[in-house]
Amino acid sequence: MDSSRSAQIAVIQFLSTEGEHASQIYCRMKEVNGEQCLVQCTVYRLCQRYEARRVNIKDLPRSAQPHVVTNCATISAVDELIRQKRRITTREIAVELSINKGKVHRIIHKKLGYGKVCAEWVPKHLSENQKTARMGVCLTQQFLHRSHPFPSKRCGISASMSMAIIYSCTVPHEL
């Protein structure tokens, strides 16, 4: 027997119009269709509809297409807003584009691959040019540090995803 959803709905309609109870219909369908049978609550709901004289077994027409937020236009709009203002928040983007804040968060992190560093959106992965520039700054500072050591100061390099930060601090005298 064809165990597709539409065939099962037609069987439910037929047995319901014959006056069979919903629990009996479910038991009979479970015997015939096994694992592919509609769930019990669906069978009960359909029986209630047919008892209320709704006889159309096809889905009712929808008012419109499903609301799709994560499309190419939205992703590029979010990317453009972030590039214009790196300190923009997800809430501001959601208000600007009239979409859900959770969707904005998903687009930023999963689709665009951005993360927040020091309250600014930056790419999680550096491009090859950014890696080369960062390596150049670090090597230059390392060379300067080795050629001109400061005995009274401790120097170092801290690198984040977006920039290399050179810092120095004075070492307190030992007592």
Half-sphere exposure of 76 (CA within 13 A, CB side): 3
Q: How many CB atoms lie within 10 A of CB 143?
A: 10
For residues 48 and 69, state if they share a domain.
no
DSSP annotation of 115: E
> How confident is the model at residue 84, as a pLDDT?
94
Residue 151 placed within a domain = no
CB-neighbour burial class of residue 12 (10 A; exposed 0-12, middle 13-18, buried 19+):
buried
Q: What is the CATH number of the domain that holds 120?
A: 1.10.10
Residue 137 placed within a domain = no
What range does the domain containing 118 cover?
65-131+162-174
Mean pLDDT, consecutive 10-residue stretches, the chain (175 aa), reads 78 88 91 89 88 64 65 91 92 92 91 82 77 81 69 50 46 42
